[in-house]
Structure 1
Amino acid sequence: MSQYPESAPGAHPDKRALRRELLAVRNALPVHDVRAAETVLAERAFEVAELAGARTVAAYVSVGGEPGTAALLDALRARGMRVLLPVLLPDNDLDWGTYEGPSSLVRVQYPGKMALLEPGGERLGPDAVTTADVVLLPGLAVDARGMRLGRGGGSYDRVLARLAAAGAHPALVVLLYDAEVVPHVPAEAHDKAVHAVVTPSGARRFT
């Protein structure tokens, strides 16, 4: 679940331009390629040791041309992991619920956004993410430093700030296509590097 506004007011102009370019490429991907990547990502993700050994994972439901997460969500549950999924709040912050399989998801249409699939059960509160061993982050690109380019809506900036305030240190992992690992992502002072990226070619760690 990551269809948030493409860019927040005052967003870095280089980030806005790069987002437009990357989204255009994603939007042109054939459905077959998106589905094929989803299957491979569900296997490659467990090359990240923290994910393979996690008890609780905060994830998201992919939309549109994003690298698919459906197969990975079910693979996490099959390993006995607790999977948290986000629920969009009116101020663009995120609440969380537990993923109990595809039938537990409900389709929610937000004004001005694509319809999102969200967990239909109990709401656990925004702080539930601080219990995760691994947080899977949506993104559009990552560079050699591990700097992630998000969509710019600010939802996951709040998640990262909440983790820091709670003294929580989960592994941060972004799921991307191979071509979205780029030489450089424009970074600002508040941006935080991820620990690893997973693409159809495999997992890569950052130091």
Structure 2
Amino acid sequence: MFLIHIHVAVYNIVGTGRTPIPFNQVSPICTIASGFYTTFSLYWFLIVYALCPPVLMLIFGSLTLSNIHKHRRQIRPNLSEINNRKREKISRQMLIMLIVQCTFITICTIPLALQRIYGSNTSSQQKSITQKTLDQLFLTIAVSLGLVGHSLTFYIFTLSGAMFRDEVKKLIMKIPGCRRIFTATGTQVKTNRIPPVPLERRNV
């Protein structure tokens, strides 16, 4: 993995420049070498940072789930139909969680890669203050999405997988005092449920 990024140390140049407003101070900065490497770095960032991770996650995750499912059938071929349905449901939930995570990461990382390509292709153009402001807004949104894509995995799993929610609930209930809260909440929900209408009343 280190060899993939070794060109960054070779073709990046340490220089001086001004930090963004409001600091506006001269400080050392790293700049990319001009020429062919500028174009190469942009598309390398798009492929390695935005596209490869979710694609590899989806491929190897699917192969892992398929391998686990195959070995289970070889080890215990005579499981009951209920157990088979339960295992298929778990595998389906894990696959859904994997697909949702890969899709979310792709959506969050591609805008930053596209923004870098756009910024490099339009860097020599004369832009108005409005266009510069819009470009800065796009950059801020793209960077924010890139950070969000790698920090919300827990919430993605919680929203997309019932199995993950159940495991989180079991983990929380092991904390002293939390079991009592969950039990009281569940009892209150059952108490507040509207009782079903008897069949005799429905026919009236």
Task: Answer yes or no: same fold by TM over 0.5.
Answer: no
Larger Rg: 2
Identify the structure with bigger relative contact order (alpha carbons < 8 Å, sequence gap 6+).
1
Name the TM-score, length of structure 1 as normaliser. Answer: 0.19
The structure that is strand-richer by fraction is 1
